[in-house]
Structure 1
């Protein structure tokens, strides 16, 4: 098998890298943030009060969105800008997830990169196990409540 650099292959074939999955995109962003955990980043100012069209255009210099957009891999994969709307589309973030991870009302005017990384992880992680635990806790309370009432009366 002959090995050739990617640039040479592109001259003879249409070479397209595999697009990243949502989980891979988010993990890459989190990894980028965690590379410099103490870096102070600007949060986005009270995004929940802005109309949707205006919210989509929100950006801040030196924000977590800037960290993502500065990465050539994420840009090549389709991240269009460091505006909130583009990031929400690319990372498939809901309004609530974006608000929790990026808004100034929860983190103040600035936050450490590691804090944003943890918020992204919490907001976008698999919460199925949390729902299951919650269901078991509610079931345990429902079963034990009559006994507790009997003991306390």
Structure 2
């Protein structure tokens, strides 16, 4: 790779500074996650196994290959916004999920070892719309 000063690059390219962008809100992050999941609505994803029975430290470190969280972490936009990994604790921090919300979206006890991406997206959207959330929080 050859180093060139910025002044030289201006001669061969139209360089424009990038305007600082406002960080995504919680709602926008959850909506983006749902949209990413809906790109492959029939994709079978892995649920996190029995979240509620794990000690807190173990629970926060939980992850699964091919889970709704790994789909979120594979998205360049969500990673650029600050999603640190596909671990439950990082996702809870990033999406500002309560333990109850995370449990209802991701836990195997809510429907088995797998979940369709479209269902995971619907559950993520329920966090945004509290009227829908009552369908799960019982």
Q: Report the TM-score, using the length of structure 2 for normalisation.
A: 0.80
Q: Could you say if the C-alpha distance between residues 26 and 9 of structure 1 is closer, same or farther in structure 2, counting changes exceeding 3 Å?
A: same
Largest Rg, 1 or 2: 1
Moved runs in structure 1, 4+ residues, more than 3 A? 7-10, 128-131
Q: In structure 2, list runs of 5 or more residues that go unmatched.
A: 1-9
Q: Which residue does 2:129 correspond to in 1?
A: 126
**Which residue of structure 1 aligns with residue 63 of structure 2?**
59
Offset of residue 17 of structure 1: 2.7
RMSD: 2.3
Cα distance per residue 1:94-128 (max 9 Å; x no partner): 00000001000112111110011111122x12326
TM-score for both structures, normalised by structure 1? 0.73
Greater RCO, 1 or 2 (C-alpha within 8 Å, sep 6+): 2
In 2: Cα distance, 1:100 partner to 1:59 partner = 15
- Judge conservation of contact 2:44–2:115 (CA < 8 Å) in 1: yes
Instruction: Count the aligned residue pairs.
Output: 122
Give matches, 1:31-46, under 5 Å.
31-46=35-50
2:7 aligned residue:
none
**1:115 corresponds to which residue?**
119
Relative to total residues, which structure has the larger helix share, 1 or 2? 1
Aligned residue in 1 for 2:15: 8
Moved more, 17-26 or 95-104: 17-26
